[in-house]
Structure 1
């Protein structure tokens, strides 16, 4: 199996698919019509030149780009479900429209900053401080670090389990499943249609969920190798290691997309298992949306002629 290199994410009642510097957002509007928007996105990677192509460094830029584009497309899809959105747009003057676009840009930056801070606090700092409470009971730094890592992973799984019970999130996870099924359908040499997509797997080794699990797991290994005594320095080390961890995680995920080796499959298993929480079986209408998103940016017929 050769990776198609396409990827994406679920948005509100739709799918975003990206292929290189092109991305498409397909959304099922309230009236049932599928709206598809295709745009060019160079991102941070495109602006950083050779740095964005160096192994273990490129993953940092790729992660940043995925965060920015993910929030941008999520906000775009939400516009289709805001009451009187179209009427409001028609009434806006050019100056007012420009002001609104600036406000939306700042809102996106704020959401991105909040998401990063929330993730760092909940998944990095909270487990560290919880494990520190056992310092008198567990004097071994190594055992406390392992405990911290286990707590971090448990918090991650609990968080996913809780949000997956929300009705709106369940639909988003169904679209997430449709995204994976489309990519698996293509990468296993099948024609991209509703029937073939439906019987494809909703789990994929290059999923962002697997990336996040790798970040949590690799952090345990690196923190075991770096031993500092000061509590303040331990917090600093955890923050400074995040780009390094992201870079390593990206390389493993990238390798997983091109390999079916026994070792890489073993490493991928925990992430695939957690995807059972973040993906759900989609209905055919969701699969139709996902197919349109793929076809807007990716020539799957040419890919299959070359690889199968």
Structure 2
């Protein structure tokens, strides 16, 4: 097992990977070619934030969002999962339905849970259309293969550190927070944004705890919804072409980061 950790994100036409100081993105263009770009991260959180519970999760989220902007500038061909018109329409429909449910629910916890579930609609549309789910599986496979010194084709398409593990606790914490505020007459976008940020920070801490305590009943229960979501919605078994794209991103990231560890060619050999 390698000491360094690599994160990533599936695109509509490729894979984005990022390490401690750099990112690499590979996409397959309309003519079938693989385009690869990489760069150093322009924003990395200050080191002291890593020791502040709650804030460190938000710092990582900000770092990931900043990388997306860099990718779009360096590789215009990269298509983010939420750029499709169907996904945008799903987001608008979910927002309208959520507002209606919230008005009828009067700030109840059940209404807030319903609003949260409706908020998942755009992600589900993005994952089930096109190749996003397959590229998500390819991303997981090449990362796991590099970490384990194995071949990508032999690895599972689900990954233990996938961000989908944050979805269930974020949804639950956001629903509870919004319900409590509304019962006290606190409403509006600012209050909702504050609740979402607090929920994201707390969800990150719960996930980090479950990672450290894997094998315990509570830790496994916290990760169960994320594993289920990956298996049913979030990933699909990638084909050779999708694995080739993910492998190209991995090779470029390892080159730029000069990461020690398992050989990228070993991970790619089963692709």
CA–CA distance in structure 2, aligned partners of residues 186 and 256 of structure 1? 23
Q: Deviations over 1:189-246 (max 9, x none)?
A: 242xxxx32232222232233323332122234446657432xx13343222222111
Secondary structure in 2 matching 1:8: strand
Q: What is the aligned counterpart of 2:195 among 241, 247, 256?
A: 241
1:261 aligns with 2:215: yes
Deviation at 1:40, TM superposition (A): 0.5
Equivalent residue, structure 2, for 1:229: 184
Unpaired segments of 5 or more residues in structure 1? Answer: 82-107, 136-140
Number of residue pairs matched by the alignment: 250
* Pairing partner for 1:148 from 99, 102, 111: 111
Equivalent residue of 1:39, what SS? Answer: strand
| Matched residue, 2:266 | none
2:24 & 2:212 partners in 1: Cα distance?
A: 24
Question: 1:14: how far off?
Answer: 1.6
Structure 2 counterparts to residues 121-136 of structure 1, below 5 A: 122=94, 127=98, 130-135=101-106
State the Cα deviation string for residues 85-107 of structure 1 (Å, max 9, x = none). xxxxxxxxxxxxxxxxxxxxxxx
Specify the alignment match of 1:176 in structure 2.
Answer: 136
- Is the 1:180–1:202 Cα contact (8 Å) retained in structure 2? yes
Q: TM-score of the superposition, structure 2-length normalised?
A: 0.75
Instruction: Please name the residue that 1:302 is paired with.
Output: 261
Find the structure with the greater CA-based Rg. 1
Shift of 1:301: 6.6
- 1:207–1:220 CA distance, 2 compared to 1 (3 A): same
Contact 1:19-1:297 at 8 Å conserved across structures: yes
8 Å Cα contact 1:28/1:289 also seen in 2? yes
Q: What TM-score comes out, normalization by structure 1 length?
A: 0.67
Q: For residues 156 and 273 of structure 1, do their structure 2 counterparts lie closer, same or farther at Cα, with a shift above 3 Å needed? A: farther
Structure 1 position 289 matched with structure 2 position 245: yes
What SS is found at the alignment partner of 2:184?
coil
Contact 1:186/1:300, CA 8 A, preserved across alignment:
no
Displacement over 6 Å in runs of 4+: 118-121
